[in-house]
Structure 1
Amino acid sequence: MSASHTARFANFFSALFTFIIIVKFSSNYSTYAWIIGSVFILFDFFISYRNNTPIFPELNWSRIKLPLAGYLVLYVSILLASVFTFDISNIKLCLVFLKFSLPMWFIIYLNGKFNATNGILTGITAGSAVISGLGLYQWITHSVPENRIYSVFTPFPNMFGTMLILLLPFLFYTLFHVKKKSCKAIVLIVIAGMLISLLGTNSRGAVLGLAAAGIVCLVAIFLSALKSHTLSKKIILSMFSMLILSCSALGYMGLINHNRFGSFSNFNNGEERVLLWKASYHMWQDHKVLGIGFAHFNEAYYSPQYHPAEGKEKNLGVPHSTPMHFLACTGLIGLIGYISHLATVIITLFKSLVTKHNKVISIVFLGAFTAFTTQGLIDMSITSKTPAQLYFLLFGFFLSTISRQK
């Protein structure tokens, strides 16, 4: 089989893999993505061996060694914290979290070796169309509790909102990537559906994440144009779009908060998450180095030692804040690992933004990363299966793109 035929297969499999990671009727559906991925890799190993060609992608690893080191520090740190609690349930849950990141490696392999950009963007567009379409159907038919969209793919509106804000920057990237006007029109319709679906989730964290992404991308685009001494119509349009998006998102978040609490002054008294964060901090104070273990947060929170008298919600198994989750469950060791991941990604993005070839994909992933990290401050991110798998898939797309450039 020729290299061109194999590349077409790679784009097809990457589209299918990406689509399944986005669209799944239960968490078990990701198994199908792994079956598809394994079939292609075995097939490619055979073709590469028969044609006597390199099996693994030939990337410029020096460009991505820093974020990969940060990724390694993250998972080694939480594994160490879990191991030294001498509790097998903590270790098992840590390995589950590690498994969430596997899409990154599959996409690095596919996109790094075959340039599967078209396939990945096709999967993103098709998957986004399905989840936003069904989400809008729920909203229109009032078939969900409190009329908050959560789609049929995620159990909570906030989780669905997280997926939407991760995908939106890459849909804008697709809009500029495709050439046909008919394709651009389809992508625009999907973007509109995604934005309306996001409003329907009433997720403050997701809306805040989108607003932060818009502001950060606006600054990045402006500084990039300033550095290159170019201010084209496309750049001006992009900056204006980011400004409108951010202002609209911030205004809508304020409206959600007002409808729920009446005023920001009532937030502290009416929000259970504040109680969760305070309890998480107290857990860390008693277990500063290793934390209480991922498997025991629910047990600890509802114990007389940590459960606040004002707490009303039941079965809260996480603190609804990624930094507090690492701090309470893995102590300083895990929190240092999480911060290492964030820091190495930020440094890599900064380096990529100043290069000529990687600028666009870097701004796109900067938007997704900012939205995801901001949302993670008041909800869950890389320790939640569905959004974590999607985040690492997009992270792998970014890493393989910037390391593939000559």
Structure 2
Amino acid sequence: MDLLSDWWKQTEPKQKMAQIIVFFMVFGFSTMITGASHGIPMGLGIIYILYDCIQKRSLSGFAMPGKLWLGIVVFLSSVVLSSVLLGDKPSIHTAFQYVYWFLPLLIMFYLGRQADVKYAAVGGAILSLFVSSLDMVHVNYLLLQGQKVALPVPGRLGAFFRSPNVHATLLSGVLPLVFCAFCDKKIRFPKWFVALQVAVIVLGLWSLWKTGSRGGMFGFCTGGIFVFLAVYFRERIWRVVFALVLTGAILISGYVVFGVTPVSHGYDDTTRLRMLSFSYDMWKDHKWLGVGLENWRKEYLGHYFKEDVVRKAAMRYYMAQLARTNETFSAEKAAEVQQAALNEESRHEMPHNAIAWFFATTGSIGGIGYVFFVLFYFYALLKKLREQPGNWMLPAGLWIFLAMTLHGFLDIGVVDKGVARLTYLMLGLALSYACVENTAERF
């Protein structure tokens, strides 16, 4: 434990406090065990910032090249603007909630400018993976013993009984950080710490598999492949971008046609394609302002959900099953399959695609704002990675941003409060290290 004792003796109290807060913020936001697990450290972060700003009589801790703020400002402003222009009060309220979810980025960025917090962030990520994976191991053990466990999705696990897809996204928000930490010589020096890293990575990858989230695996793997190529082919980076697009197209095709997970994903994987089609119809009728952030489900069921299309798809699925099993056709069974399809596809609250969500609910104004946000920070982090080859926090930040964003193209993404806050938290961490290459110059 010399590492911890040396840190305690050598670190100034102010920097120590910033690092402790970051440790618990990363842990709390990536596990979400209770509201207090992320609310308390965020509150402490706000108190720290207020005290520091008052003491310095300055807001210099937020100093960042203005262009690096552009992506988030354009995105959130476009969402609020479209909602205000639409005039739907519930949607306006939700739009301002989206702005509130952005608060962890500001806190993490400020703390990252006060102290070298990367080791604290890695420690929080390791504890998060360990605790959440142990919970999944426990539930998996109960299932193997034949005990009945109420799961959010049958056959798929999520730590602390949350949605498997949400948990897969949270895993994508911390696993890359622990992976990239191997590049740090200080972390590699204590052998026991390296063994701990390896152990939690194995547990984290097993947990990701047990979520059964193809979007989570797609985002994590594609992001990792791209970052690896970007690091080793920095001077030919745009060839790597092309390779990413090609790889993504192949993997998405495999996702749609085959799937790569240990459990079934429902009666018909074309469900989400139909939701995208219905959301596209929704956008065509409300091109500029959308239907409102609180109105997607109401509009979906009231005007765009096509029962005949769903019934035909269910019948095709049923007939394909008969062909595989050589069973005889049953009108009663066919009706059951069709009704199950209608029940399944009418229960959704959003189209399981963040781009479709923002275009349908906030129109072209909010949709373009979200696309700009994604492309802006992808380019900004990629550019900084080229400029600062020795800063391992940048590939970690880019990997996390890609993994969580790509998963959002196949699921909920930043539409979910917990996912959004962790995305912003990690983006703030990466941006704090993007501002200055030499950490000795930071404090």
TM-score range, shorter chain: 0.7 to 0.9
Kindly tell me: are residues 404 and 23 of structure 1, through their superposed partners in 2, closer, same or farther at Cα, counting changes over 3 Å?
Answer: same
* Aligned residue-pair number: 371
From 157, 164, 171, the counterpart of 1:157: 164
TM-score (norm. length: structure 2): 0.77
Question: For 2:87 and 2:292, how far apart are their aligned partners in 1?
Answer: 10
From 234, 240, 260, the counterpart of 2:264: 260
Q: Compare 335-344 and 2-11 and name the one that shifted more.
A: 2-11
The corresponding residue for 2:388 is 356
The corresponding residue for 2:211 is 201
Q: Compare 394-403 and 210-219 and name the one that shifted more.
A: 210-219
Kindly tell me: are residues 383 and 358 of structure 1, through their superposed partners in 2, closer, same or farther at Cα, counting changes over 3 Å?
Answer: farther
Kindly tell me: are residues 376 and 261 of structure 1, through their superposed partners in 2, closer, same or farther at Cα, counting changes over 3 Å?
Answer: closer
The corresponding residue for 2:287 is 288
* Correspondences of 1:193-272 after superposition (within 5 Å): 193-224=203-234, 254=258, 256=260, 260=264, 270-272=269-271
Larger Rg: 2
CA distances 1:51-109 after superposition (whole Å, capped 9, x unpaired):
x8x663275x23xx333101100000011110011111001001111211111100111
From 169, 183, 195, the counterpart of 1:185: 195
**What SS class does the counterpart of residue 288 from structure 1 fall into?**
coil
**What SS class does the counterpart of residue 301 from structure 1 fall into?**
helix
Question: For 1:193 and 1:332, how far apart are their aligned partners in 2?
Answer: 41
RMSD: 2.8
Q: How far 1:261 sits from its partner (Å)?
A: 7.2
Kindly tell me: are residues 69 and 226 of structure 1, through their superposed partners in 2, closer, same or farther at Cα, counting changes over 3 Å?
Answer: closer
Question: For 1:3 and 1:44, how far apart are their aligned partners in 2?
Answer: 17
From 279, 292, 305, the counterpart of 1:307: 305
The corresponding residue for 2:408 is 376
Contact 2:21 2:41 in 1 (8 A): no
Kindly tell me: are residues 283 and 42 of structure 1, through their superposed partners in 2, closer, same or farther at Cα, counting changes over 3 Å?
Answer: same
Q: Compare 34-43 and 321-330 and name the one that shifted more.
A: 34-43
The corresponding residue for 1:71 is 72
**What SS class does the counterpart of residue 196 from structure 1 fall into?**
helix
Kindly tell me: are residues 276 and 79 of structure 1, through their superposed partners in 2, closer, same or farther at Cα, counting changes over 3 Å?
Answer: same
From 36, 50, 61, the counterpart of 1:57: 61
Question: For 2:261 and 2:176, how far apart are their aligned partners in 1?
Answer: 25
Contact 1:67 1:341 in 2 (8 A): no
Question: For 1:123 and 1:257, how far apart are their aligned partners in 2?
Answer: 28
Kindly tell me: are residues 308 and 123 of structure 1, through their superposed partners in 2, closer, same or farther at Cα, counting changes over 3 Å?
Answer: same
Question: For 2:20 and 2:159, how far apart are their aligned partners in 1?
Answer: 26
Equivalent AA in structure 2 for residue 163 of structure 1: L
Contact 1:287 1:331 in 2 (8 A): yes
Kindly tell me: are residues 256 and 350 of structure 1, through their superposed partners in 2, closer, same or farther at Cα, counting changes over 3 Å?
Answer: closer
- Alignment pair present for 1:21 and 2:29: yes
TM-score (norm. length: structure 1): 0.84
The corresponding residue for 2:368 is 336
- Alignment pair present for 1:386 and 2:418: yes
Contact 2:166 2:419 in 1 (8 A): yes
Q: Compare 140-149 and 338-347 and name the one that shifted more.
A: 140-149
Contact 1:27 1:386 in 2 (8 A): no
- Alignment pair present for 1:345 and 2:343: no
Kindly tell me: are residues 3 and 183 of structure 1, through their superposed partners in 2, closer, same or farther at Cα, counting changes over 3 Å?
Answer: closer
Gaps of 5+ in 1: 228-242
Gaps of 5+ in 2: 1-9, 144-148, 238-246, 311-341, 439-443
Question: For 1:120 and 1:364, how far apart are their aligned partners in 2?
Answer: 11
Question: For 1:135 and 1:204, how far apart are their aligned partners in 2?
Answer: 18
Identity, in percent, stands at 23
The corresponding residue for 1:12 is 20
